[in-house]
Structure 1
């Protein structure tokens, strides 16, 4: 009925740039420092009067500067991504949704409330009309008591069905002797007889309730119907007894024999089993009358009209409970949504701190890597000069002992970003106070509209 609230989860993962530690001895082998140094020494290069590094040293410098430059580009991209993440990290949307939660809850309830109240009002009017009809019915028929009726007819019809099966099984044994199909055929015959016997008894009991009617004519008619029905059932069961006895004499002509003997004398039955069959039929006939009489209130139509009223009352209660459940479900969704939003705010705050720390750590790691590269350059240059000095015949240049190459520091940059951690922390603290208040307001709104539903229909 209400629009389902969608939960949103924002996940952001930053993977920092990692720098491989360079083994200085492996680097020396990779750059072929020893061979280049010996080769230059054999040619007494660089010459003793040289004031600047030779081509080999510049090659070493260029290789490590290239590594620094490539790493710097990767760091630039990483820091740029972090800066964009910081720029896009905000809880403004969450804060706005939290503040609008109460108005959203109330608007969603109100949008459906009028139709609910209209339905309840209509059902309440119907209830009052039925109640007036009951009062009129009681006054017209001289009733002062409450109606008495079974809550359901399932038990009554179940018992009648059991009685039908029981009578069919018992009578089936008696009819089995004269049936070509044995016990199965006997039960089939007995079932038809039992169904007719019980049906007549049930209908008799149902109309017997009219003996309690305020109308004298209807009361007399009910007694007349009972007398006729009992007479008919007695005659019917006696005829069935004659038929059962005739089956034992001549199964093929049992019907005609039964009619003839019934005409000669209604009580001229000599077989004990046939009299037992008659007794069983009359007992179940009486049971059916009793169940038909008790199918509803003893005063005709009184139970039905009261039952209709009570059913409508249950329907009204069910509708009210349904409305409560809808309000409660929406309240629970919004309450849960509040928790989810605030949890998202906490995670966003942590994520922002992580972004800022990552910038600082990334810059620090890059600066440390540049120092590492500088140390590697110093190592290979020193190794080159030592080998060159030991292998040459001329004195080594003076700059071997004083001058060191360096890696350009152009890549040691700082990224500019707006640090919004304090603003976000302030907003988070405000929301920490607002969330319990809004939860309380949501609960109050729910209870208010529960009361409105109760006031609209007080049944």
Structure 2
């Protein structure tokens, strides 16, 4: 007989302190193995009559005992050889019966492992919980979105009040990182060029030559570029203000800036025209010339130095003027509004995506649990059929054992009968009747199978309803998000 595999499946996992989600519970159901057993083939093997006859030397023993006219003609019971034949086949029957019982145990264990009732209980609890978890997640997202939308609405109200007060009908001009890098780079290029140009011009009037000229040019260029930039960045922008007083301050700032740019570059030109061999204080001499004859420059290169300095100063001033929105105060409002708007839109998109993932995950888990139940019910029916076939195979196998026993007895009796001088015993013509072992009932209570079918159908219908409920909850959540927009409508663009 082929050996049977005894398989056990012991789960010694420790319970986690973290509560499993409803979707995880559903996934655990259809993620488990359907049974812990391997199918086996050829459970009951037929007796090989010829081989058993050779091993027991039935023909030889029959001839030997027949030549001695044994057993006696009047004997009515089986002789020793016949008893050994029957005992051998009876032992085979008992071995087959043990295999039959073990196989029944395996089938019953597999039926038990399907564990429908536990799965029904988990699904009845977990499926509605999944819908509830989805609703809770949607409610949390709605609260978060409500706060962000209210903050955006307040920012919009502040922005629109500012636009209305200052009669602005255009969107604010915001500086991007790329734009700021360009402006800073432009200032750096202006500074380097002005230092190089002024240094070459000033080298003539400096005792240290080109190095001295570069050192003086560095100081004048830094002051010229930075002062011009910050004048355009703050005070001159007041020219765009609606308030007449601030507009006047902006105009005065522009006039003062132009005067400063001209004076600064004229002073630098006077420094250039002071000969390096005159033993005077260069700064005092340049200041005296600037006061007494500011335009009294005698060389064309000095006028070129003035012109280049003023052009670079104006470019730096315009760069500062256009760094932010021309209207002071509007940039900060526009940036706050845009930040609040981006936060709200991003949060809304993220919440919708998160709900969509939860919806798809829950639907996939429930559909998987539904498919798992269908597979298990099919296996349940298959196990019942195979269990019945096992019993029928055992019945057929006992019939084969009986036939093999009679065949072995016939071999012995024929060999005995051929060489006897006296009549054979009467029981030599009688067939052996095997004492059969009754089989286990093959049909379970039909009501149990019908109840299981109804329960599976009920649970599958529940899962279908819960999947629909999750989709409905998702639609309701997205509608509630849209209702927040309706509760806080956006201000009309272009309001002045």
TM norm. shorter chain > 0.5: yes
- The equivalent position to 1:5 in structure 2, one of 23, 37, 47, is 23
Aligned CA distance change for structure 1 residues 22 and 100 (closer, same or farther; 3 Å): same
Deviation at 1:395, TM superposition (A): 4.3
Report 1:13-24 matches (<5 A): 14=37, 15-16=39-40, 18-24=43-49
Deviation at 1:346, TM superposition (A): 0.7
- 1:314 equivalent to 2:342? Answer yes
SS of residue in 2 equivalent to 1:5: helix
TM-score under structure 1 length normalisation: 0.77
Corresponding residue for 1:71?
Answer: 96
Q: Is the 8 A contact 1:245 1:271 kept in 2?
A: no
TM-score under structure 2 length normalisation: 0.72
Corresponding residue for 1:449?
Answer: 477
Aligned residue pairs total 440
Deviation at 1:356, TM superposition (A): 0.4
Deviation at 1:353, TM superposition (A): 0.6
Report 1:187-202 matches (<5 A): 199-202=226-229
Aligned CA distance change for structure 1 residues 22 and 454 (closer, same or farther; 3 Å): same
CA RMSD of aligned residues (A): 4.3
Deviation at 1:3, TM superposition (A): 4.0
Paired with 2:392 and 2:214, the residues of 1 have a C-alpha distance of 100
Query: What do residues 15-35 of structure 1 show as CA deviations (whole Å, max 9, x unaligned)?
Result: 357123443322323333344
Aligned CA distance change for structure 1 residues 80 and 289 (closer, same or farther; 3 Å): same
SS of residue in 1 equivalent to 2:432: coil
Paired with 1:76 and 1:341, the residues of 2 have a C-alpha distance of 33
Paired with 2:449 and 2:270, the residues of 1 have a C-alpha distance of 105
Corresponding residue for 2:170?
Answer: 146
Deviation at 1:314, TM superposition (A): 2.6
Paired with 1:222 and 1:282, the residues of 2 have a C-alpha distance of 20
Deviation at 1:415, TM superposition (A): 5.0
Paired with 1:4 and 1:243, the residues of 2 have a C-alpha distance of 84
Deviation at 1:69, TM superposition (A): 1.0
Deviation at 1:342, TM superposition (A): 1.2
Corresponding residue for 1:299?
Answer: 327
Deviation at 1:237, TM superposition (A): 6.6
SS of residue in 1 equivalent to 2:445: coil
Aligned CA distance change for structure 1 residues 386 and 30 (closer, same or farther; 3 Å): same
Paired with 2:312 and 2:94, the residues of 1 have a C-alpha distance of 107
Corresponding residue for 1:181?
Answer: none
- 1:390 equivalent to 2:418? Answer yes
Deviation at 1:409, TM superposition (A): 0.6
- 1:163 equivalent to 2:186? Answer yes
- 1:48 equivalent to 2:48? Answer no
Deviation at 1:66, TM superposition (A): 1.3
**Which residues of structure 1 form unaligned runs of 5+?**
179-185
Query: What do residues 311-334 of structure 1 show as CA deviations (whole Å, max 9, x unaligned)?
Result: 212322333333333333322222
Report 1:230-269 matches (<5 A): 230=258, 232=260
Paired with 1:324 and 1:260, the residues of 2 have a C-alpha distance of 73
Corresponding residue for 2:210?
Answer: none
**Which residues of structure 2 form unaligned runs of 5+?**
1-19, 204-212, 489-496
Paired with 2:91 and 2:281, the residues of 1 have a C-alpha distance of 126
Paired with 2:367 and 2:190, the residues of 1 have a C-alpha distance of 67
Paired with 1:106 and 1:114, the residues of 2 have a C-alpha distance of 12
Paired with 1:411 and 1:216, the residues of 2 have a C-alpha distance of 114
Structure 1 window deviating more from structure 2 (355-364 vs 402-411): it is 402-411
Paired with 1:418 and 1:316, the residues of 2 have a C-alpha distance of 62
Query: What do residues 189-240 of structure 1 show as CA deviations (whole Å, max 9, x unaligned)?
Result: 9999877665444423221222212344433333444444455556667788
Query: What do residues 218-271 of structure 1 show as CA deviations (whole Å, max 9, x unaligned)?
Result: 33333444444455556667788899999xx99xx9xx9997996678966666
Report 1:274-285 matches (<5 A): 279=308, 285=313
SS of residue in 1 equivalent to 2:23: coil
Corresponding residue for 1:218?
Answer: 246
Paired with 1:227 and 1:72, the residues of 2 have a C-alpha distance of 117
Q: Is the 8 A contact 1:168 1:190 kept in 2?
A: no
Corresponding residue for 2:376?
Answer: 348
Structure 1 window deviating more from structure 2 (119-128 vs 325-334): it is 119-128
Report 1:398-409 matches (<5 A): 398-400=426-428, 402-409=429-436
Paired with 1:161 and 1:219, the residues of 2 have a C-alpha distance of 27
Aligned CA distance change for structure 1 residues 194 and 340 (closer, same or farther; 3 Å): farther
Paired with 1:261 and 1:30, the residues of 2 have a C-alpha distance of 139
Corresponding residue for 1:439?
Answer: 467
Paired with 1:407 and 1:332, the residues of 2 have a C-alpha distance of 63
Corresponding residue for 2:4?
Answer: none
